[in-house]
Amino acid sequence: MRRTRILTAVLALAAGLLVGGGPSALAANANPNSNSNSKPAKVTVAADTYTWHNARIDGGGFVPGIVFNRKEKNLAYARTDIGGAYRWQESTKTWTPLLDSVGWDEWGHTGVVSLASDPVAPDKVYAAVGTYTNSWDPTNGAVLRSADRGGSWQKTDLPFKLGGNMPGRGMGERLAVDPNKDSVLYLGAPSGKGLWRSTDSGVTWSQVTNFPNVGNYVQDPTDTTGYANDNQGIVWVTFDESTGTAGTATKTIYVGVADQANAVYRSTDAGATWSRVAGQPTGYLAHKGVLDAVNGYLYIAYSDKGGPYDGGKGQLWRYATATGTWTDISPVAEADTYYGFSGLTVDRQHPGTVMATASSSWWPDTQIFRSTDSGGTWTKAWDYTSYPNRANRYTMDVSSSPWLTFGANPSPPEQAPKLGWMTESLEIDPFDSNRMMYGTGATLYGTENLTNWDSGGQFTVKPMVQGLEETSVNDLAAPPSGGAQLLSALGDIGGFRHTDLTKVPSMMFTSPNFTTTTSLDFAESNPNTVVRVGNADSGAHIAFSTDNGANWFAGTDPSGVSGGGTVAAAADGSRFVWSPAGAGVQYATGFGSSWSASSGIPAGAIVESDRADAKTFYGFKSGTFYVSSDGGATFTASTAAGLPAGDSVRFKALPGTKGDVWLAGGASDGAYGLWHSTDSGATFTKLTNVDQADTIGFGKAATGASYQTLYTSAKIGGVRGIFRSTDKGATWTRINDPAHQWGWTGAAITGDPRIYGRVYISTNGRGVIYGDSSDAGDGGTGGGGGGGTPTPTGACTVTYRITNQWTGGFQADVQVTNTGSTPWNGWSLGWSFMDGQQIAQLWNADYTQSGATITAKNVTWNGTVAAGSSVGFGFTGSWTGVNSKPGAFKVGDQACTVA
């Protein structure tokens, strides 16, 4: 929901990314300095086929935009501020992520400031992406365009930044497609960059130089970070489709500008000239402009602030496009508002029906307004009977996401769950008057019996968010025993205990609630003992559990604590070391009823525990590693040299082995990589086959392996990705692919101690990703791969799976298993399509297509496939009529079994 977290979270993210270790800190080679004299290990990068899922939370963040296509029924999209874009799947009532292919070096492109679905050609969709307009985001913004509903994308970089997670991000939509001539698009830019136009379907863009106003509103002129003092710019573009014909550019275009005195402009000659609309209200920002071409009305939702958190006053206005008459249609008097208006929609089946939201009504709840006479009269989603009691026109069913009550039992007039907050997006399905969706700071709600509102009955509000995962992940832990498969530390909603990754947990961590959990840990030999720390509006910043994270109780803060920091539990759970924000490192025996200051270690150090010796703890700060052998009372600085100088570092000790520590992190202008110590940090050896590394985690060892499996988010062999090693880092397997990158993955990673090959990955806005391997447990053989055609001595099996399909397009995964007795050194898979399908994009293999015949060959790093092992690749393609699966495959000349 990002209410209390926004500035601290952004600043923390900026520190993590820009001071080293993040996507802006890329390097071709890490600093090779090490105190080891060992020879460089051979770089070996192999491939494995993984299936990827989210640990289900469902939602967890702000949904500032919902876009329905107005030509095709059931085609809808949602945009998020940091977690990408999604497409609605009507058959399953779920959302499909569309921007998982965004990579590490362009992580900012997971922030979507606007989205447009082509009203002429529904297969086309556009996204304006970029997370921050200041230096926190290392890249400029871009406009992505897709001809297959987001299955694949092409990109045009812009000469300025965009702000998907900036103030004002709920206004819009800033990106719009001309409904009469869809090769024409407009984009409203922030930061004084003006209005931009494309006339070739988003391929090229140029500034509309004669547009008269670039905006002037900033949230906080005194801010020096470049965040709250950015000009929010041009915030929406709306076409009057009645002023054009098919194939001819629409003549009348309205544009909303972040300027309280001059908020609305118009062109009546297809963008050749522009002028301020006369007679418009002043003193407010126009958050949304929605046009009803049937009745000739432009509706505008005004707020005195840019949102999405702020807004103290608001109004709704109606502009008659034929006469130029402005009418105040506000549902309540301005003096009675304590919120701004933003969410705004027209029922396209019944254009006289209009709805709007009180977007910034934090207490007691948001409000939704509905009019069936073009704003002449209004009714509310809820009213007071006798204060503080409420009568609701709706019922809420959050059984699919029960945590949305936040474990609260508030006093009237508040209710749990709330109808929402930060409700800047609200859309009635243009084909179904009964379906409405709206975004909040924590989820996406909807109803499918909306017209009950008008008949005096109640409509039912439910989460419509399955598949849309938007949490920012700070830490992860997978205990070796107990009911918890996974424990997560999350921004905004604290974190969860997953006992089943496929089900939404009933509640986030409570007693106490943290707005953001920053760190958590369990006792390695006693996993029922768990500790977490985090940020809180009030109360304790530390909590303990003695039943594997199922129930919690608050600890006691030492003096001066202002935030969570990092925490470590002794291997047996007998003591804890805590490095909170606002105070120095502390240690305690028992459950933290009394803390003592640790000596020998600086404030702000990252702390971890040895996973075998209960009295050994570790710390790291500004290039120095620290060790305590007396339970955290005193620390001694290690003499190990060559470690990263900054604090963008994550390190962990290997379960079950005293003194075995792995450290990842660094920056492009210094040491950056992966280090290993077997003597409790007295010395470290840098792995020379790892270019860069940002996380490290451990999982169950492969069959026959003597060491636990390593996982890292890293750059190895010149490739950024998620990697696995089953041989102590001697060789590495990249386990993700270009379609599964999830932007920035540098906060945390862990394997599963109970399931070989399973890995849990943190993202900054796509929730907790987990992957399962097709490898049965031998860990693969590595190998650089060859380029030739194999001559298998045994059989092969192929699994061909269509993972997503839409009108005219589809995505498929192919897995090839060597079921023979000897390895392949290079492979080539051939098949023929039966229905004229054409491949558009293929990853993890090279390919050629001649008519219906496809030949896919290994790339350099996945050519070696051991007997019993598998390799996989994926692709997107097009189809018409029928999309049958191929019936036969060959590896070289060997026919394969089709699974």
Cα(498)–Cα(505) distance, rounded to whole angstroms? 6
Q: Within a 10 A sphere around the Cβ of 159, how many other Cβ atoms?
A: 11
Cα(682)–Cα(342) distance, rounded to whole angstroms? 58
- Give 806's Cβ-side CA count (13 Å radius): 22
Structure tokens at 718: 């010149």
Nearest to 524 by CA among 588, 477, 490: 477
Please report, to the nearest 10 degrees, the dihedral formed by the alpha carbons of residues 247, 252, 258, 259 taken in order.
160
Please state the φ and ψ torsions of residue 600, each to the nearest 5 degrees: 85, 5
Q: Within a 10 A sphere around the Cβ of 274, how many other Cβ atoms?
A: 18
Nearest to 618 by CA among 573, 568, 581: 568
Please state the φ and ψ torsions of residue 11, each to the nearest 5 degrees: -65, -40
Asked if residue 504 lies in contact with residue 498, where contact means CB atoms within 8 angstroms, the answer is no
- Helix/strand/coil percent split, the chain, to 5: 5, 40, 60
Cα(828)–Cα(894) distance, rounded to whole angstroms? 10
Residue-wise over 869-894: b if at least 16 C-beta within 10 A, else e? Answer: bbbbbbbbbbbeeebeebeebbbbee
CA angle 832, 838, 840 (to 5 degrees): 130
Q: Could you tell me how far CA 241 lies from the centroid of its own chain?
A: 34
Q: Could you tell me how far CA 69 lies from the centroid of its own chain?
A: 23
| Whole-Å CA distances, 129 to 108, 471, 763 | 7, 18, 17
Cα(875)–Cα(802) distance, rounded to whole angstroms? 10
Phi-psi region of 668 (alpha: psi -120 to 50; beta: other; left: phi over 0): alpha
> Across-strand partners of 811?
804, 876
Asked if residue 6 lies in contact with residue 65, where contact means CB atoms within 8 angstroms, the answer is no
DSSP 8-state assignment for residue 315 = E
CA angle 428, 434, 440 (to 5 degrees): 50
Residue 492 annotated as catalytic: yes
Please identify which of the residues 81, 259, 475, 737 carries the catalytic annotation: 81
In 240-279 the beta strands, taken as DSSP E runs, fall at 253-257, 264-267, 275-276
Contacts of 555 (CB under 8 A, 6+ apart): 531, 540, 542, 543, 544, 591, 592, 593
Cα(515)–Cα(333) distance, rounded to whole angstroms? 34
Asked if residue 398 lies in contact with residue 407, where contact means CB atoms within 8 angstroms, the answer is no
14: helix, strand or coil? helix
Please state the φ and ψ torsions of residue 523, each to the nearest 5 degrees: -75, 120
Asked if residue 428 lies in contact with residue 438, where contact means CB atoms within 8 angstroms, the answer is no
Please identify which of the residues 492, 521, 613, 737 carries the catalytic annotation: 492
Asked if residue 554 lies in contact with residue 540, where contact means CB atoms within 8 angstroms, the answer is yes
Residue 81 annotated as catalytic: yes
Cα(1)–Cα(60) distance, rounded to whole angstroms? 7
**What type of residue sits at position 763?**
T
**What type of residue sits at position 242?**
S
Contacts of 399 (CB under 8 A, 6+ apart): none
Cα(656)–Cα(257) distance, rounded to whole angstroms? 60
How would you classify the pairing of strands 732-734 and 45-47?
parallel
First to last CA, the chain: 44
Cα(608)–Cα(394) distance, rounded to whole angstroms? 49
> Catalytic residue positions?
81, 492
